[in-house]
Structure 1
Amino acid sequence: MAGPAKRTIVDPMKGYFKLRKRAIEILDTQLSDKLYYHGVDHTLDVLKVVEEYITREDLDEREACLLKIGTLFHDIGFTVSNEDHEKHSAVIARKHMEELEFAEEDIKVVEGLIAATRIPQSPKSYLDKIICDADLDYLGRDDFWPISNSLFDELKAFGKIEDKLQWNKIQITFLQNHTYHTEFAKTHRQPRKEERIEELRNIVKQGIND
């Protein structure tokens, strides 16, 4: 009598392209139109930064694929709820990875990557550190202000913030408490982030509220 069929384990590279298509389709069609920051553009921006890390760090194919999968799914839980979205993201990622027959150890890596992005960030592995720094890469970039404004618009739309003055005070505290984890971000993002803190302090000092 034949035993149970052996479960096929997908090659991460082949599975990645299928998951990328699924994730982008979900983000494109199921997110609230009030998510001015946490939309598909944010996910694709983080993915671009992650891919730059992969090239610089010369990660192996499996690590690179899992890191990109974690990135694609890290905010997908916003399709379910704005609260504890990382938990929902992990559930959705597991569902789709199981459907494509990923190995359990690979699914757990992705779940860990998603969990690491929860604020305050708690990276445990080096891959965790990369996704955390990629997720908040904009804090030390030239496009900080337009991205920051999109997050303000989102929070205001959901009634979590009242005005720009309140928002800028929150930003100062957040940026001061935030820590980059990779050497690249410490060298190339931290200095500009410190400049943003000084700019925000001056804006708050002047009482500017627009």
Structure 2
Amino acid sequence: MQYRQILEELRSHVANLFLSHKDERFTYHNLNHTEHVVENVIKIANHYQLSDRDFFVTAAASWFHDIGYLYDPANHEARGMELATSFLKSKDMDDSIIADVKGCILATRMPQNPEGLLQQIVCDADLYHLGSNSFKARNKLMRQEVEAFKGHEIDKSEWRAKTISLFKAHHYHTDFCQRLLNEKKAENLAEMELKQITKHTVETPEKLPKEEKKKKDDKPERGVETMFRITSTNHQRLSDMADNKAHIMISTNSIILSVILSLLLRKLEDNPHLIIPTLLLLIICVVTMVFSILATRPSIPTGIFTKDDIEAKRVNLLFFGNFYRMSLPDYESGMNKLMEDRDFLYGSLIKDVYAQGVVLGRKYRLLRVAYNVFMFGIVASVLAFIIAAAAVTI
């Protein structure tokens, strides 16, 4: 079966349908969106190393999944299945393939409920943008399209609330997309929630009765909590990046050290002119590794707090290093007081964010030293080897 050739013909066929039924109102569900979904399907399908048949099924379904909008937006999945069936039958495709393509198209209907890996791939590709940097732009286009068909503007808060509901109801089905997109999706959701809360608190305070205002002031603001969550997530990501950078330095210099110890040192007796360059390279690698290891070496406090620390609100119970040696009843007692006291709670969150920042600052300072030593040291070592070789030649 010439799957690749049929896919090329299918792509041209779908593109022609979009062009011949062009409607300026479709700012989102257009050929550009379909091409993005196809790209996402290819990315996910390649990860799972699908067979040629299954790859064809997911790619064909992604090309046809939204074509029905041009004919019947309310039942676009059904119309897309009809168009896909008509085209595939004209190419003498097996009924089993046509059935799988139709199943993948139907699975994109909201709420998504895919069955099997192929349907999961198409569903995740269709809503891939929810966990990507392009979400804001794509969401704006979607809103413009809905406004164009409704004939009136949609309030931003109303649209944002519906989008937040979509985020909370949606989840990625493939483990590949879960690992790749969930973190960014959570950030996009947190940012929308923060905007929604900020707008709500700005617009409604004068309308609230005094008693409700007082109750509201006594409760932790969701916007503040979202801010702490986003900040903590960003710090964690930066910490992971620092650890990865340190791992790269350690691995690279370990390889260089292995080569030096196994090859160069044996030949120094016969090549005494290489002693200084080799020692220089050896020292550089060791120093780089030391600073990289220091950047990732954990520092753990005593793990003990006292009742006085709780009463004075000096201890941060959100960090394991401050309580890992305490008994569970003592920790529960401290946490109950923390949750009952707003100032204590927010103070602990502030201390936690600050402590993360201090640790990050130390990590990146040590990493900068390691990278500088490695960068300038490698240049110096290469020059030393060149000079040594030139001296022998002369």
1:51-200 matched pairs, under 5 angstroms: 51-159=42-150, 162-200=154-192
C-alpha distance after superposition, 1:18-64 (max 9, x if no partner): 11110111123314210111010000001111111122111111111
Paired with 1:126 and 1:54, the residues of 2 have a C-alpha distance of: 10
Are 1:201 and 2:193 counterparts? Answer: yes
Question: What root-mean-square deviation, in Å, do the aligned CA atoms of Structure 1 and Structure 2 show?
Answer: 1.5
Q: Which amino acid aligns with 2:34?
A: T
Paired with 1:28 and 1:183, the residues of 2 have a C-alpha distance of: 36
Q: 2:296 is matched with which residue?
A: none
Q: 2:291 is matched with which residue?
A: none
Query: Where do 5+ consecutive residues of structure 1 fail to align?
Result: 1-9
Query: Where do 5+ consecutive residues of structure 2 fail to align?
Result: 201-394
Paired with 1:22 and 1:120, the residues of 2 have a C-alpha distance of: 29
1:152 touches 1:164 (CA, 8 Å); kept in 2? no
Q: 1:3 is matched with which residue?
A: none
Q: Shift in Å at residue 75 of structure 1?
A: 0.3
TM-score under structure 2 length normalisation: 0.49
1:13 touches 1:62 (CA, 8 Å); kept in 2? no
Paired with 1:191 and 1:159, the residues of 2 have a C-alpha distance of: 33
Question: How many residues were matched structurally?
Answer: 199
Paired with 1:127 and 1:110, the residues of 2 have a C-alpha distance of: 9
Q: Shift in Å at residue 121 of structure 1?
A: 0.6
Q: 2:27 is matched with which residue?
A: 36
Q: Secondary structure at the match of 2:14?
A: helix
Q: Which amino acid aligns with 2:66?
A: D
Q: Secondary structure at the match of 1:35?
A: coil
Q: Which amino acid aligns with 1:140?
A: G
Aligned CA distance change for structure 1 residues 164 and 45 (closer, same or farther; 3 Å): same
Q: Shift in Å at residue 14 of structure 1?
A: 3.0
Runs of 4 or more, structure 1, over 6 Å off, are none
Q: Which amino acid aligns with 1:30?
A: H
Q: Shift in Å at residue 101 of structure 1?
A: 1.3
Q: Which amino acid aligns with 2:108?
A: T
Paired with 1:78 and 1:28, the residues of 2 have a C-alpha distance of: 13
The percentage of aligned residue pairs carrying the same residue is: 27
Paired with 1:159 and 1:61, the residues of 2 have a C-alpha distance of: 42
Q: Shift in Å at residue 102 of structure 1?
A: 1.0
Q: Which amino acid aligns with 2:163?
A: Q
Q: Secondary structure at the match of 1:158?
A: helix
C-alpha distance after superposition, 1:91-146 (max 9, x if no partner): 01101111111111111111001000011111111010000001000000011100
Q: Flag the structure with higher helix content.
A: 2
1:14-29 matched pairs, under 5 angstroms: 14-29=5-20
Q: Which amino acid aligns with 1:72?
A: W
Paired with 1:135 and 1:147, the residues of 2 have a C-alpha distance of: 12
* Rg larger in structure: 2
1:31 touches 1:78 (CA, 8 Å); kept in 2? no
